[in-house]
Amino acid sequence: MTPHINKLDLTAEEMAALRRQGFVCRERRRGRVFFKLRFRMPTGMQCVCYLGADPAVAEEVQTELLEMQRARHLHLQLGKLAKEAGQKLKSGKAALAPMLAEAGYHFHGLSVRRKRVVE
């Protein structure tokens, strides 16, 4: 669960925005260090929640935030890998096509087929 983030009394819309993106930042003012949670709403408006000066709390909020955003990060990573796989498949097919044509074969989608002999 997210006990520290739940204490911030965020609305459902803000929680949804936080699942998509957001981060904990460290700021220094007058020699003191304190932490803030920053994220943007779908409208583009930036939201800032003060977390305090305790680094342990900031670390726990960051951990909770990463867990909340884990599904999105995995989805983005899967999309990148799928795109890379498609590019490799396309280049592999392009490299194999001339050799298959010489041997009397061709690609039908991802399958290799023998060319028909017309009598």
The average pLDDT across 44-68 equals: 95
Q: Domain range holding 85?
A: 73-105
* Number of helices and strands in the chain (H, E): 4, 5
Does 14 lie in the same domain as 53?
yes
Query: What average pLDDT does range 52-78 have in this prediction?
Result: 95
Query: Which residue's structure tokens are 């999309």?
Result: 79
Residue 119 confidence (pLDDT): 73
Model confidence at 6: pLDDT above 60: yes
Structure tokens at 82: 């799928």
Q: Residue range 69-84: average pLDDT?
A: 96
pLDDT for res 116: 80
Average confidence (pLDDT) over 92-111: 92
In a domain, 117, yes or no: no
Residues 91 and 35 in one domain: no
Whole-number Cα distances in Å, 75 to 78, 79, 81, 106 = 5, 6, 10, 34
The set of long-range contacts for 49-52, using a CB threshold of 8 Å and a minimum separation of 24, is: 49/8, 49/10, 51/24
Instruction: Let me know if residue 42 belongs to a domain.
Output: yes
On whether both 39 and 53 belong to a single domain, the answer is yes
pLDDT of residue 118: 76
d(CA 24, CA 62): 6
